[in-house]
Amino acid sequence: MDLILASQSKMRRHILECSNIAVTIVSPNIDEESITKSLISENASLRDIPDTLAEYKAKKISNKNPGRSVLGCDQVLVFKNQIYGKPASRKDLIERLRLLQGQNHRLITANVIYKDTKPIWRHVAITHMTMHSFNNTEIQDYVDRAWPSISDSCGGYYFEKTPHLFSAVRGNWFDILGLSIGPVLGFLNQTSERKPLTVPPIVAVLGHPISHSKSPQMHRYWLNKSKLNGDYIAIDVPPKHFSNTIKVLASVGLSGFNVTIPHKEAALTLADKVSTTADKIGSANTLTVAKNCDIYADNTDAYGFMENLRASSLNWDAKSGPALILGAGGAARAVLFSLVEAGVPKIYLCNRTRARAEELMETSSLLIDVIDWEDKELWLPQITTLVNTTSLGMIGKPALDINISTLSKNALVADLIYSPLETDLLRAASKKGCQVVGGIGMLLHQGVPGFEGWFGVRPNVDEEIERLVLE
């Protein structure tokens, strides 16, 4: 079905495209403010206001496009039986957030389909949104970051970017974003002989920071290549809100998550069921949400790390000698697990905080010895594998301070960082003649099992996707 969307909303268009619906965008250009004021003066119900606005939009475009279906949408925020429109200024947004913080408000989302100047379908959804409590400083900081990009949102927020603002949500992801795609597809399926359309699965990668992540490009490439509906997005989630944000996003219908720095260990603790691999590693990077909102945690980092080594190195042999691992976070746990499984005879573990490394050693393997961070260079002549699992050397992070002059040119050097693609460590190792393995390959390979679990198709890691994420 060739559908006209009577809206300039990029998000509504994106939702339809992710559902494999061909859509034409036509702006209705109605005076929403005047219509809303008129409806309020006539004592119209709060539910009828977005429904009427959506109908005005669909009707106006339908009048000019006979024979075509036109979808009109509208959404209003209701707090204490009062409608709030888009914030007019920074001051207005600050005042609104002071009202909403710690309270429950409603988003009323209306969708109306017109054809040949007549309404043929309509749907209204109500979502209950409960914000965390914020102090004045937190509100001011948020406004400073978000304004003016948030000025066209009736709530003063984009839920898809800042779900951590909410302590609880009762509703559906797509309703919150302004288009009730499930009911829309249900109606379109009844009126079309084509293969039934299904609600697109939504998966998110969560981290802090997250702007560097290549995961969305990778998974969207696989979705397009496999001709699947669905979407994969990135969300920055502060650590103190991670567990609650997972629960909120699962409750509104997300299908799963990738988890990156610094949330991998926390992800394991909130799961209802844990894979054997994730349990042994002690962290999770892949979460799948069941229909009852139970969360299954897995760790595909070890798989991705080892597949990347095999694909990127010529003759690396795990059994050829000891390995030195820098870092003791969630990624280090996966690397240690994979190296032990591969048969590395000895592993030296080095972290800036020695106690954390010792804790990891006690839960991992007897093959591991902890060494002081200041002594890491003393062990370089003995090893055949060096792996950096820290964030040191990442864009926006401090540099990794290490002199590898005594490292054998026959050693393999791997860095899990992929932003930048060639870190200072890899550049120095390459100059020595060492085999080097960047983090982008691990990212690609670790994503394969997760994609298959969420979207039902096992993707291939090929040169085309490597070029894509390298751009």
Tokens at 298, concatenated: 């897995």
Q: From residue 373, give the alpha-carbon distance in Å to each of 17, 355, 394.
A: 50, 11, 19
- The set of residues, in sequence order, having a beta carbon less than 8 Å from that of 22 and lying 6+ positions away, is 1, 2, 3
Q: What pLDDT sits at residue 14?
A: 97
User: Any idea which residues carry the catalytic annotation?
Assistant: 264
- The answer to whether the CB of 213 falls within 8 A of the CB of 188 is no
Residue with tokens 């791997």: 414
- The answer to whether the CB of 7 falls within 8 A of the CB of 73 is yes
- Structural element, H or E, at residue 256: strand 256-259
Angle formed by the axes of helices 330-342 and 354-364, nearest 10°: 40
Burial class, 397, CB count within 10 angstroms (exposed 0-12 / middle 13-18 / buried 19+): middle
Note down pLDDT in tens along the chain; length 471 residues.
679 999 999 999 999 999 999 899 999 999 998 999 999 999 999 999 999 999 999 999 999 999 999 999 999 999 999 999 889 999 999 999 999 999 999 999 999 999 999 999 999 999 999 999 999 999 999 999 999 999 989 889 999 999 999 999 999 999 999 999 999 999 999 987 778 999 999 999 999 999 988 899 999 999 999 999 999 999 999 999 999 999 999 999 999 999 998 999 899 999 999 999 999 998 899 999 999 999 999 999 999 999 999 899 888 999 999 999 999 987 898 999 999 999 999 999 999 999 999 998 887 788 999 999 999 999 999 999 999 999 999 999 999 999 999 999 999 999 999 888 899 999 999 999 999 999 989 989 999 999 999 999 999 999 899 888 887
Tokens at 109, concatenated: 């989302």
What are the two backbone dihedrals, phi and then psi, of residue 112, each rounded to the nearest 5 degrees?
-130, 135
CATH 3.40.50.10860 fits 202-299+444-470, yes or no: yes
Overall fold of domain 302-437 = Rossmann fold (3.40.50)
Cα 86 to Cα 32: distance, rounded to the nearest angstrom: 11
Q: What pLDDT sits at residue 363?
A: 77
What are the two backbone dihedrals, phi and then psi, of residue 93, each rounded to the nearest 5 degrees?
-65, -40
Cα 257 to Cα 176: distance, rounded to the nearest angstrom: 19
What 3-state class would DSSP assign to 25? strand
- Look at residues 43, 106, 40, 108 and name the one whose alpha carbon lies nearest to residue 79: 106
Cα 63 to Cα 331: distance, rounded to the nearest angstrom: 58
Burial class, 13, CB count within 10 angstroms (exposed 0-12 / middle 13-18 / buried 19+): middle
Domain boundaries, the chain: 3-190, 202-299+444-470, 302-437
Q: What pLDDT sits at residue 86?
A: 87
Q: What pLDDT sits at residue 421?
A: 86
- DSSP lists the bridge partners of residue 127 as 107
Q: From residue 291, give the alpha-carbon distance in Å to each of 153, 252, 256.
A: 30, 11, 11
- The set of residues, in sequence order, having a beta carbon less than 8 Å from that of 462 and lying 6+ positions away, is none
What are the two backbone dihedrals, phi and then psi, of residue 140, each rounded to the nearest 5 degrees?
-65, -40
Fold match between 3-190 and 202-299+444-470? no
Angle at 84 between CA 82 and CA 85, to 5 degrees: 150
The stretches of 343-419 forming alpha helices (DSSP H) are: 354-364
- The answer to whether the CB of 324 falls within 8 A of the CB of 360 is no
Paired sense of beta strands 256-259 and 286-289, if any: antiparallel
On whether the pTM is more than 0.85, the answer is yes
Angle formed by the axes of helices 301-312 and 330-342, nearest 10°: 60
Instruction: Work out whether the CA dihedral 49, 51, 52, 56 comes out positive or negative.
Output: positive
Overall fold of domain 3-190 = Maf protein (3.90.950)
